[in-house]
């Protein structure tokens, strides 16, 4: 007589399932298969470099948006702009260090890196964070350096933006192709990290708005950036809706993420927060005379500017509303998962995935700051300030645990530091 075991909540990454009397580990889309992996080194530093994954780019990605937020915060105090610049320089150092170590990893362990990129969705997705972090750095050039050192730096930001936009377009076109053709995970294996390439394109669009607004460049240079940025939004935003629909289908099928991956759910609000800011900023730039000065054709004219500008900003408001749903759902999901796990909050272990919280939260906050500016709304000013305080707490907490992980070696999988 067979015993019928009731169906229980599925956990894609952490469960084990019985099959023909044997026990096997369920498929985990974020961890590559263990068979045929290249051998890893045994030395401490060599092993740490071997395990230096692209998730480290989440750190400068998060710190870059914090620098922008501190500079644009509605309630400024003396010294906050200096703090913003310090965080900006820190972001540059972080991104440069991470890039250097990752390139060294490629040179020393090319087979291992290639294996990871072929089999790990998370490894592939986080490469898009390079472009995202670089965009935030470029934005700060337009926000701070142009005002202090002259309009020539606006041209520097302009050139850097086009270079970075090429990287963003490569990410938004190439990485999803890898998902589909090289490492198709199935519906139950689609993680929120698959949105990062789309966020790269949306972040590039947001960066264009900032450079056009604060970079002191001519309308002749602004308008091509504006058009390309709207095209990037046209690529990134609809695809984000599609991927998040797939993720909802995964949840409805009870394929819930493991506790160690739960922080990734905050990425779900990222595309809509960043699209909101990009649409608002681009709309403001159009209203301030870029189309009127360019004045070509029937679209790029002074007559169309008011309609395009207001429509763009209204679309930004709608996008922020959609992002609010995902922001709230992510918080509820994270809190519920951490409390419901065996041992409660005390059983939570830190991983680099916790840095997935920072950038999406940051772009959602930055969009709220922008809404406060275009509507002269004290409510949005207060709300964005509250979000910033919480964001700083998250970032500081992540830094503390990251440093502890580096000192102990556990963040690289070492048993001893």
Task: Determine the pLDDT at residue 14.
Answer: 43
Q: Span 145-161, mean pLDDT?
A: 93
Residue 174 and residue 416: Cα distance in Å, rounded? 38
Res 20 pLDDT > 90: no
Three-state SS for 195-250 is HHHHHHHHHHHHHHHHHHHHCCCCHHHHHHHHHHHHHHHHHHHHHHHHHHHHHHHH
> CB neighbours of 83 closer than 8 A, spacing ≥ 6?
70
Res 7 pLDDT > 70: no
Domains of the chain, by residue range, sit at 139-348+358-412
Per-residue pLDDT band for 36 (boundaries 50, 70, 90) equals low
Q: Span 131-148, mean pLDDT?
A: 95
Q: Which two tokens stand for residue 396?
A: 């500081």
Q: Span 234-238, mean pLDDT?
A: 96
Task: Give the residue with greater pLDDT, 150 vs 212.
Answer: 212
Res 30 pLDDT > 50: no
As a whole number, the mean pLDDT across the chain is 88
Query: Model confidence over 294-350: pLDDT tens digits?
Result: 989 999 999 999 999 999 999 999 999 999 999 999 999 999 998 888 777 777 788
Query: Model confidence over 389-415: pLDDT tens digits?
Result: 999 999 999 999 999 988 888 887 665
Distance separating the N- and C-terminal Cα atoms of the chain: 53
Helix (H) / strand (E) element for 22: namely strand 22-25
Q: Span 26-55, mean pLDDT?
A: 68
Res 186 pLDDT > 90: no
Res 12 pLDDT > 90: no
Task: Give the residue with greater pLDDT, 127 vs 256.
Answer: 127
Q: Span 18-30, mean pLDDT?
A: 42
Using the 8-state DSSP alphabet, how is residue 300 labeled?
B
- Please check whether residue 141 is in contact with residue 160, taking contact to mean a CB–CB distance below 8 angstroms: yes
Work out the number of other CB atoms within 10 angstroms of the CB of residue 392.
14
What DSSP letter does each residue of 335-404 carry, written as one string? HHHHHHSTTGGGG----GGGGGGHHHHHHHHHHHHHHHHHHT-HHHHHHHHHHHHHHHHHHHHHHHHHHH
Q: Which one of 37-46, 263-272, 334-343 scores highest in mean pLDDT?
A: 263-272
- Please check whether residue 360 is in contact with residue 391, taking contact to mean a CB–CB distance below 8 angstroms: no
């Amino acid at each position: 007589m067979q015993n019928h075991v009731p169906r229980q909540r599925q956990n894609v990454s952490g469960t084990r399932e019985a099959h023909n009397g044997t026990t096997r580990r369920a498929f985990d889309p974020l961890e590559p298969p263990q068979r045929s992996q290249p051998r890893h080194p045994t030395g401490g530093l060599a092993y740490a470099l071997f395990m230096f994954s692209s998730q480290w780019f989440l750190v400068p990605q998060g710190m870059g948006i914090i620098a922008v937020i501190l500079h644009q915060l509605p309630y400024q105090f003396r010294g906050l702009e200096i703090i913003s610049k310090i965080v900006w320089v820190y972001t540059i150092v972080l991104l440069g260090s991470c890039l250097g170590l990752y390139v060294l990893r490629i040179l020393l362990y090319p087979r291992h890196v290639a294996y990871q990129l072929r089999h790990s969705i998370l490894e592939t997705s986080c490469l898009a964070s390079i472009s995202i972090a670089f965009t935030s750095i470029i934005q700060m050039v337009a926000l701070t350096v142009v005002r202090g050192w002259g309009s020539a730096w606006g041209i520097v930001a302009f050139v850097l933006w086009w270079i970075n936009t090429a990287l963003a377009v490569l990410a938004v076109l190439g990485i999803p192709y890898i998902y589909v053709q090289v490492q198709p995970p199935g519906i139950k294996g689609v993680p929120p990290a698959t949105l990062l390439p789309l966020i790269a394109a949306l972040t590039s669009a947001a960066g264009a708005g900032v450079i056009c607004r604060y970079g002191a460049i001519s309308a002749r240079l602004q308008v091509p950036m504006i058009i390309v940025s709207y095209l990037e939004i046209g690529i990134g935003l609809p695809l984000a809706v599609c991927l998040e629909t797939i993720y909802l289908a995964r949840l409805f099928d009870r394929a819930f993420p493991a506790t160690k991956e739960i922080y990734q759910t905050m990425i779900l609000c990222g595309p809509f927060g960043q699209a909101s800011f990009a649409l608002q900023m681009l709309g403001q730039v159009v209203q301030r005379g870029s189309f009127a000065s360019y004045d070509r054709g029937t679209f790029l004219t002074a007559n169309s500017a008011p309609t395009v500008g207001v429509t763009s900003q209204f679309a930004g408001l709608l996008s922020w509303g959609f992002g609010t749903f995902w922001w709230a759902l992510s918080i509820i999901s994270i809190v519920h998962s951490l409390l419901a796990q065996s041992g409660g909050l005390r059983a939570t272990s830190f991983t680099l995935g916790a840095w997935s919280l920072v950038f999406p939260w940051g772009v959602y906050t930055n969009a709220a700051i922008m809404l406060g500016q275009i509507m002269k709304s004290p409510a949005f000013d207060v709300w964005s300030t509250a979000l910033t305080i919480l964001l700083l707490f998250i970032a500081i907490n992540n830094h503390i645990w990251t440093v502890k992980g580096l000192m102990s070696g556990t963040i690289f999988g070492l048993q001893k530091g």
